[in-house]
């Protein structure tokens, strides 16, 4: 029997996920969110690591109940947040140790990648025409607001040039902190977007802060909290948050293009799953924008599994 499946595992700051893919598509994908107490704005790494450890076992059991393990030819795992030598977060140890154990017990290769690379690879599902191209990659999530120049190689690690980031809060932190202040559960993105689309007026403005290809959201958060304290409408504040995000991203991409030339833009990450933000960006940006599938934008192991599948020539038994 051909070993044509690749198993992917990803244990990010707020999601435990496992997936299996083949050349024909996604064979299995399942994820479980970590639990954050109501009113809190996140988890300590130690708490996240503990929850991943508890959640991985049932996910692996469910995988093997639905997937023929004899067809799994490799395991790919996100062992660090981004593709840099000293990149590290404790939560990724849970996925790495699980993947290493499965690979050793099955006698198949273990392939390591970065969580961020998994996001960009997942965004290529439906955007296959961008494969092997050079793009601007924008990763916007609770832990990342990175603007990169990426050569999307299928058969080798991506060639990445770092262009800019947020100097304080990330895009997802901005969304979550304002959402929690409005009484929403964490993560707040889905709920805040539901409020934003109900806004009756769109006059509230939160100033965006962009310097070259870097941005800042701490001032935007302070402005939003003042709006809440002043009694402005909750829906209108929610809309102002997304409007601020869209204007910030538009400026970042314009500055990158002015400095480095025109390239297609591939946008990924949990914040990018927002239909409202996508609509705003398509209206405001002059660049050629590409988004990953909504269901694959938030943290998941599908992109990680595809990276392993792309490198099939590395598989050996």
Residue 312 pLDDT = 82
The runs of H, that is alpha helices, within the chain are: 45-66, 91-106, 115-123, 171-181, 189-196, 218-229, 234-260, 275-284, 302-310
Q: What is the DSSP string of 26-89?
A: EEEEEEEEPP--TT-----HHHHHHHHHHHHHHHHHHHHHHS-GGGEEEEEEEEESSSSTT---
Residue 317 pLDDT = 61
- Condensed to tens digits (0 to 9), the pLDDT of residues 35-64 reads 999 988 889 999 999 999 999 999 999 999
Q: Contact at 8 Å (CB) between 299 and 12?
A: yes
Question: CATH fold of 5-126+297-314, please?
Answer: Nucleotidyltransferase; domain 5 (3.30.420)
Q: How many other β-carbons are positioned within 10 Å of the β-carbon of residue 316? A: 8
Residue 153 pLDDT = 79
Kindly tell me the burial class for residue 237, based on how many C-beta atoms sit within 10 Å of its own C-beta (0-12, 13-18, 19 or more): buried
Residue range(s) of every CATH 3.30.420.40 domain in the chain = 5-126+297-314, 164-291
- Condensed to tens digits (0 to 9), the pLDDT of residues 167-209 reads 999 999 999 999 999 999 999 999 999 999 999 999 999 999 9
Regions of the chain short of the pLDDT cut 70: 155, 316-317
Question: CATH fold of 164-291, please?
Answer: Nucleotidyltransferase; domain 5 (3.30.420)
Residue 18 pLDDT = 98
């Amino acid at each position: 029997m051909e070993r044509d499946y690749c198993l992917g595992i990803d244990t990010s700051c707020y999601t435990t996920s496992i997936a299996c893919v083949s050349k024909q598509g996604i064979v299995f994908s399942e994820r479980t969110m970590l639990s954050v107490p109501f009113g809190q704005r996140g988890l300590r790494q130690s708490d996240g690591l503990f929850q991943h450890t508890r959640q991985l076992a049932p996910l692996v059991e469910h995988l093997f109940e639905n997937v023929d393990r004899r067809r799994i030819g490799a395991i790919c795992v996100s062992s660090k947040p981004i593709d840099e030598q000293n990149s590290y977060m404790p939560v990724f140890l849970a996925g790495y140790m699980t993947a290493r154990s499965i690979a050793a017990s099955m006698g198949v290769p273990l392939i390591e990648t970065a969580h961020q690379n998994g996001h960009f690879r997942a965004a290529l599902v439906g955007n296959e025409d961008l494969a092997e191209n050079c793009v601007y990659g924008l990763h916007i999530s609770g832990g990342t607001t990175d603007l990169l120049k990426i050569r999307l190689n299928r058969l080798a690690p991506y060639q990445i040039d770092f262009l800019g980031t947020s100097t304080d809060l990330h895009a997802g932190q901005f969304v979550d902190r304002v959402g929690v202040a409005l009484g929403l559960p964490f993560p707040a993105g889905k709920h805040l977007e539901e409020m934003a689309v109900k806004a009756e007026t769109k006059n509230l403005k939160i100033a965006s802060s962009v310097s070259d290809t870097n941005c800042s959201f701490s001032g935007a958060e302070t402005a939003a909290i003042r709006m809440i304290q002043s009694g402005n409408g909750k829906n209108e504040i929610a809309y102002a948050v997304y409007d601020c995000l869209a204007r910030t991203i538009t400026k970042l991409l314009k500055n990158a293009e002015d400095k480095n030339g025109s390239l297609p833009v591939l946008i990924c990450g949990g914040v990018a799953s927002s239909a409202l933000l996508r609509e705003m960006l398509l209206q405001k940006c002059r660049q050629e924008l590409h988004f990953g599938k909504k269901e694959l934008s938030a943290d998941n192991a599908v992109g990680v599994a595809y990276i392993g599948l792309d490198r099939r020539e590395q598989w050996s038994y």
